[in-house]
Chain A
Amino acid sequence: QSALTQPASVSGSPGQSITISCTGTSSDVGGYKYVSWNQQHPGKAPKLMIYDVSKRPSGVSNRFSGSKSGKTASLTISGLQAEDEADYYCSSYTSSSTWVFGGGTKLTVL
């Protein structure tokens, strides 16, 4: 049950786009459509931003998008805004009927 691999940090200026990667194995990210992304602001509970690789829950801005290629999923945030500054975690269902999270990526809006 090793954590999915995410970059520790990414940064971008307001209005720019950034992409966060999430690399797993064929037993998790590469094998299932159940890849999701959660946003967490300091001291707050996580919030679902993307599910099933690329779908957005109601109320989530269309500036957030997701994709997957092989064993790597990606979250792209376009038109960066100050309020996007947060930690982002990917997660995936696994072949062991468990779930696994990525180590998290701190997004800094410059």
Chain B
Amino acid sequence: EVQLVESGGGLVQPGGSLRLSCAASGFTFSNYWMHWVRQAPGKGLVWVSRINSDESSTTYADSVKGRFTISRDNAKNTLYLQMNSLRAEDTAVYYCARVPSYLGAFDIWGQGTMVTVSS
């Protein structure tokens, strides 16, 4: 079964750091671009970041540029999001999602992990 499972969410103080993980299974992880998308409570989906299959290229939303770093370990079939200098407005459910090059769309999503930034 094709599956993405996020972990690492939790409560963190403003200015703090957190690293999210996304474990992939059921497909050849190293062949796919991967993304992080977040959703604040009661709000819509917001694209955060993406990484290409061999980690040679990354892009970020302006709202997280310079604070968040996306990375991957193809040997461990795992995607990461290092989040630094966290703000209250970063509070959201964070989803990892797969985008096949032949689709250009988010075809597989994880169940999400909640990040709460609060003192």
- Interface residues of chain A, those whose CB is within 8 Å of chain B, are 1, 3, 32-34, 36, 38, 40, 45-48, 51-52, 57, 87, 89, 91, 93, 96-104
Q: Which of A38, A47, A104 has the most CB of B within 10 A?
A: A38
Whether the pair B104, A48 counts as a contact (CB closer than 8 A) is no
Whether the pair A99, B111 counts as a contact (CB closer than 8 A) is no
Question: Which residues on the B side are within 8 Å of A101 (C-beta)?
Answer: 37, 44-47
> CB < 8 Å: which of A3, A34, A38, A45 contacts B104?
A34
Whether the pair B95, A45 counts as a contact (CB closer than 8 A) is yes
Provide the bound-state CA to CA distance between A1 and B47, in Å: 10
Whether the pair A38, B106 counts as a contact (CB closer than 8 A) is yes
Question: Which residues on the B side are within 8 Å of A45 (C-beta)?
Answer: 95, 109-112
Cβ-based interface call for B50 (8 A): yes
Whether the pair B105, A34 counts as a contact (CB closer than 8 A) is yes
Whether the pair A38, B111 counts as a contact (CB closer than 8 A) is no
| Least distance between B94 CB and chain A CB atoms (Å) | 11
For the side of the interface on B, what is the size category? 20 to 34
Interface bits B54-83 vs A (CB < 8 Å: 1, else 0):
000001111000000000000000000000
Provide the bound-state CA to CA distance between A65 and B50, in Å: 27
Cβ-based interface call for B103 (8 A): yes
Whether the pair B35, A46 counts as a contact (CB closer than 8 A) is no
Question: Which residues on the A side are within 8 Å of B109 (C-beta)?
Answer: 45-47
Contact A36 B105, CB 8 Å, known A1-B61, A45-B112: yes
> Nearest CB to that of A52 among chain B residues?
B104
Whether the pair B45, A89 counts as a contact (CB closer than 8 A) is yes
Given A34-B105, A36-B104, output 15 extra A-B contacts at Cβ < 8 Å.
A32-B104, A36-B106, A45-B112, A46-B45, A46-B106, A51-B103, A51-B104, A87-B44, A89-B45, A91-B47, A96-B59, A99-B47, A99-B50, A101-B37, A101-B44
